[in-house]
Amino acid sequence: MAYNPLNKLLHYRDVVKLAQKHLVPGISTYAGVHRTYIYPVYKMEYKTFMKIMNFKYLEKQIKEELKKQGKTDPSEENHIAKNQLPLFEITESPQLDI
């Protein structure tokens, strides 16, 4: 099986974003955030979670890896193709007199 460091870094970024979303400085702890929000989604141990939270220069390493692989950041892409039709068009509905 091939090893792709970009996928690992993107996974780390998702974990960090989820933790930062739920972490309230001075009130919540990393242990509480891990137990309540991270573990149910990612099934990782607290030690691994702390390793990810202490990972230095994550965004810089993601940019370097994207550049090395010649890809663009998936979080910045518009996931709807230009030629794709919208599933539901929003139009005003006619008023019905009942």
pLDDT tens digits, residue range 41-82? 999 999 999 999 999 999 999 999 999 988 888 776 555 666
Its pTM stands at: 0.70
Distance separating alpha carbons of residues 28 and 81, to the nearest angstrom: 40
Distance separating alpha carbons of residues 22 and 33, to the nearest angstrom: 7
**83 pLDDT higher than 80:** no
Which residue's structure tokens are 């019905």? 96
**13 pLDDT higher than 70:** yes
- Please, are residues 16 and 53 in contact by the beta-carbon 8 Å criterion? yes
Give the pLDDT of residue 82. Answer: 65
Give the pLDDT of residue 1. Answer: 47
- Please, are residues 73 and 9 in contact by the beta-carbon 8 Å criterion? no
**89 pLDDT higher than 60:** yes
